[in-house]
Structure 1
Amino acid sequence: MKRLFLLFLTLTLLLSACKTSNEPKKTADGKIKIEYWHVNAETQGGKTVKQLVDDFNKQSKDVYVVAKYNPEMYKGLMQNLQSEAAGGRTPDVVQVGWSFKNYFKDNFPYTSPSKVIKESAPNDKDFISQNFEPKMLKIAQDDKGEQIGLPYSISSPVLFINKDIFKKAGLEGKTPKTWEDVKEYSEIIKKKTNKYGVFIQEPADSWAQQAMVDSNGSHIVKDNKAAFANKEGYEVYKYMQDMVKNKTALHMNDEQGQQNFVNGNVGMLFTTVAKQTHIGKNASFDVTSTEMPGWKGKEKKTPAGGAMLAITAKTKEEQKASWEFMKYLYKVENVSAWTKGTGYVPPTKNVIDNPKGLQEYLKKNEMIKPAIRQMTNVVPWASFPDATGLESEQKLLDMRDRILSDDAPVEKTMKETQDSINLEIENNK
């Protein structure tokens, strides 16, 4: 059935593309109109997206950008993209989360930025090599080395600390280095202050759990199959379940959980560094950040979070307009504004030490520095193969919810979930 759906989707897109190939969208005053899909809520750079789009529109004589926010993070964006594509419609520039890179590549028409530059902007032929390190470009390439898109949002998980709560709990000056430390400090915080010790982020993805599982010696995905139902994987989810049960860890909707930290009800928050701007501006307490914890005696692995920008525009005119917008976003001052507004690590060269970039900002803002330091430990965000991506990610979320909300048996629940995902993968070969 899935193969029939994908065939129908492909035929629909081809027919739609034929109908509209010479009909780019335009504004009343003749500008090429493109749509930019992103996942940036107000607490994660939404205001910066609006400012960058508004500034681009003011200075552009030929292109007008409409930004569209997609809730439910990258999974939600992919679901919306699937719905639009089935109706023969697509946006023009989209944020594609790293965990959906394979799913996007195998299921949606896109044009490599390299191809768009070659065909529509030959003067920019050296733009990519001049602005990106090869290692950074690689995470936005397919297995043949073609650029699917360009890196834009680069993040790693960090641990934010409420220093006021630590002081009240007698932990002043202490920094948790391991998850064993986090557990110990959480128990002390609960006993001494009656507040929660930690909230481990719970958005519509399993990025934080991958960081914990991989660092414990297991994998969410290995050899294109789910591989987390083993001793090391069980230990991670049992760790979280036990802390939720004894109320040393908070478990709730991600937005509410992070707001509880900002409101001063939680001692530690494990989440993306992209939250540092929002936390820094809104926390009423003394807050700091530190590198993500590891497991005692094991190698720490940090999954690269965030997204790439990909071009899904259909017509040549819209593709050229999409590239003009992307190129604008990658200007030093705009990457700098993006980092300041979100907390993401800059994806391009010559921004961190550039006077027009982040040179002064980094002197005053310490909370982003742990993320920059730990980029040497970066591993890819686990990506399930082709057609199973959305469904597999949802099964991981359901598994997390059953374990943390319903107190489901950890080993049985994880084994059933892994078997279900791998059966789906096998059936889609």
Structure 2
Amino acid sequence: MKRLSKLLSAFLAICVLAGCGNNQATGNQSNQASKTGSQENKKTVIEYWHVNAETQGGKTVEELVKEFNQQSKTTEVVAKFNPDMYKGLMQNLQAEAAAGKSPAVVQIGWAFLNYFSNNFAYTPPQEIIDQYFPEDKTFLHDNFLPNVLGLAKNSKGEQVGIPYSLSTPVLYINRDLLREAGLDENGPKTWQEVKEFAKTIKDKTGKYGLYVQEPADNWATQSVLESNGARMITDGKATFASEEGIQAYQLLADMVLKDKSAAHLSWDEGVQSFIDGNIAMAYTTIARRSNIQTNAKFDVAAIKSPAWEGKPVRLPAGGSMLAITAKDEDQKKAAWEFMKYLYSVESMAKWTEGTGYVPPRKDVAEAENGLKAFLKENQMMNAAVEQMEGVVPWTSFPGDAGLQAEQLLLDVRDQILGGKVSVEEGLKSTEKAINELLK
């Protein structure tokens, strides 16, 4: 337990050294959110926009919101799920802003930190605390390490929000299928071994050997490329189409197109296929731990992210921050009341237990009312905790080009894995297009 706690603290420190900066609301519910709040209970009603589908924390969001609403005498929260992860939330937020409206609290992925702060109105949390909640003046200082708060600062050094979710990719393995294929039940250690394992599994069992997550972002892909020595961005320019980047992407493409040992599926389909026993290994976020652990009917384990032979792993810090986009005084007050609840030790513990995210608050791991017992008993968290020395920033393209750059990377991923363009041609043309946007 002490070792896990130290590793959690180490991860938070490393992020700074690395430079880290489902309950969908109905239309009627959304329309209730207003300055005056519900006339029936005199509460201020606010919207909380999140990206947590039912299989990735959505049930926990629903539970936390319900518990908050039951105990709060002043605020009623309506949770609104945004599909397509953080990119989808950004697009929906654009439409809301164009209509002159905004939710009160939003969940922002690290890759969109700069884009969000450049394009949307928000209020730094400390500003709201200083203005309306003097009793909480030292809340952030008391409960978060300075380097952790730094994760939610933009390129200008402004505190945009508060870190909420921290994660890394891990390799989930079906030990039963590995044994059936005559492979080491402890799984592969390198990406070269992953390719060999996947082909053997396909040849001997007829099932897919690997699934690499494909949500509406490039988080997992960045990990594969950068662990081979590529860099998504260098000195403000996209540089992922290097020899190392092309080599890494080629390995993924060969497994999908040549060996047909890796599945090219949507995120939910890929994870569900792994849970159903049709895929032997799934490379995805530790935040899927709860869903996989609860529903898999085979000998399942989570192991550390594979490395490339002779090279250190580089794992982008996944997860998100919470930011306040409320406009008027009542909404801002209600937003902070809700956020303070979410950042309590008890709520943070429930969030980690329901997802797998590493808690950003510094005292949750050792608290008796926090995660102390959970971490001691839950072995699947070990892989994520023990590999934190490899954490690097999740690439956030600067300026207003962030959303377009991310979409270009998604488009080329589908083109490459769909066999419509070669790896070299696709990466080089996309790198060029992104650098045009960044000028």
Please report how far the alpha carbon of residue 356 of structure 1 lies from its aligned counterpart in structure 2 after TM superposition. Answer: 0.6
Q: Is 1:305 equivalent to 2:327 in the alignment? A: no
Q: Is 1:157 equivalent to 2:169 in the alignment? A: yes
Q: Is 1:60 equivalent to 2:63 in the alignment? A: no
Distance in 1 of aligned mates of 2:120 and 2:383: 36
Distance in 2 of aligned mates of 1:317 and 1:375: 40
Distance in 2 of aligned mates of 1:174 and 1:32: 52
Q: Is 1:186 equivalent to 2:165 in the alignment? A: no
* Aligned counterpart in structure 1 of residue 209 of structure 2, from 191, 194, 197: 197
- Hey, what does 2:388 align to over in structure 1? 375
Checking the alignment, whether the CA contact within 8 Å between 2:145 and 2:362 is kept in structure 1 is yes
TM-superposition CA deviations, 1:104-143 (whole Å, max 9, x none): 0100000000111111111111110111112211110123
- Hey, what does 1:27 align to over in structure 2? 38
- Hey, what does 2:287 align to over in structure 1? 274
* Aligned counterpart in structure 2 of residue 333 of structure 1, from 334, 346, 351: 346
TM-superposition CA deviations, 1:192-248 (whole Å, max 9, x none): 211111100000000000011111111112222211111011011111110001111
Q: Is 1:78 equivalent to 2:98 in the alignment? A: no
Q: Mapping of 1:30-429 within 5 angstroms?
A: 30-245=42-257, 246-426=259-439
Distance in 1 of aligned mates of 2:420 and 2:132: 56
- Hey, what does 2:25 align to over in structure 1? none
Call closer, same or farther: CA 1:355–1:100 in 2, change over 3 Å. same
Distance in 2 of aligned mates of 1:235 and 1:98: 26
1:356 is paired with a residue whose SS is coil
With 23-32 and 107-116 compared, the bigger mean Cα shift is at 23-32
Counterpart code for 1:386: G
Checking the alignment, whether the CA contact within 8 Å between 2:114 and 2:155 is kept in structure 1 is no
Distance in 2 of aligned mates of 1:414 and 1:373: 32
1:161 is paired with a residue whose SS is strand
Distance in 2 of aligned mates of 1:249 and 1:149: 38
Flag structure 2 segments of 5+ consecutive residues without an equivalent.
1-33
With 214-223 and 286-295 compared, the bigger mean Cα shift is at 214-223
Checking the alignment, whether the CA contact within 8 Å between 1:241 and 1:407 is kept in structure 2 is no
TM-superposition CA deviations, 1:80-105 (whole Å, max 9, x none): 00010011010010000000000001
Task: State the TM-score, normalizing by the size of structure 1.
Answer: 0.92
Please report how far the alpha carbon of residue 189 of structure 1 lies from its aligned counterpart in structure 2 after TM superposition. Answer: 1.1
Please report how far the alpha carbon of residue 320 of structure 1 lies from its aligned counterpart in structure 2 after TM superposition. Answer: 1.3
Task: State the TM-score, normalizing by the size of structure 2.
Answer: 0.90
> Which consecutive segments of 4 or more residues in structure 1 shift more than 4 A?
none
Checking the alignment, whether the CA contact within 8 Å between 2:312 and 2:390 is kept in structure 1 is no
Name the % identity: 52
Alignment coverage as a number of residue pairs? 404
2:410 is paired with a residue whose SS is helix
2:59 is paired with a residue whose SS is helix
Counterpart code for 1:360: A
Checking the alignment, whether the CA contact within 8 Å between 1:335 and 1:351 is kept in structure 2 is yes
Distance in 2 of aligned mates of 1:76 and 1:30: 32
Checking the alignment, whether the CA contact within 8 Å between 1:220 and 1:227 is kept in structure 2 is yes
With 361-370 and 94-103 compared, the bigger mean Cα shift is at 361-370
Please report how far the alpha carbon of residue 188 of structure 1 lies from its aligned counterpart in structure 2 after TM superposition. Answer: 1.5
Checking the alignment, whether the CA contact within 8 Å between 2:208 and 2:279 is kept in structure 1 is yes
Please report how far the alpha carbon of residue 25 of structure 1 lies from its aligned counterpart in structure 2 after TM superposition. Answer: 3.9
Distance in 1 of aligned mates of 2:200 and 2:145: 44
1:153 is paired with a residue whose SS is strand
Please report how far the alpha carbon of residue 257 of structure 1 lies from its aligned counterpart in structure 2 after TM superposition. Answer: 1.0
1:139 is paired with a residue whose SS is helix
Counterpart code for 1:217: G
Checking the alignment, whether the CA contact within 8 Å between 1:166 and 1:189 is kept in structure 2 is yes
Distance in 1 of aligned mates of 2:133 and 2:235: 38
Checking the alignment, whether the CA contact within 8 Å between 2:210 and 2:279 is kept in structure 1 is yes
Counterpart code for 1:71: P
Distance in 2 of aligned mates of 1:225 and 1:342: 34
Counterpart code for 1:306: G
Please report how far the alpha carbon of residue 382 of structure 1 lies from its aligned counterpart in structure 2 after TM superposition. Answer: 0.2
Distance in 1 of aligned mates of 2:69 and 2:436: 48
RMSD: 1.1
Please report how far the alpha carbon of residue 386 of structure 1 lies from its aligned counterpart in structure 2 after TM superposition. Answer: 2.1
Counterpart code for 2:139: F
TM-superposition CA deviations, 1:265-298 (whole Å, max 9, x none): 1110000000000000111111000111111111
Please report how far the alpha carbon of residue 407 of structure 1 lies from its aligned counterpart in structure 2 after TM superposition. Answer: 4.2
Checking the alignment, whether the CA contact within 8 Å between 1:107 and 1:386 is kept in structure 2 is no
With 175-184 and 391-400 compared, the bigger mean Cα shift is at 175-184
Distance in 1 of aligned mates of 2:156 and 2:393: 16
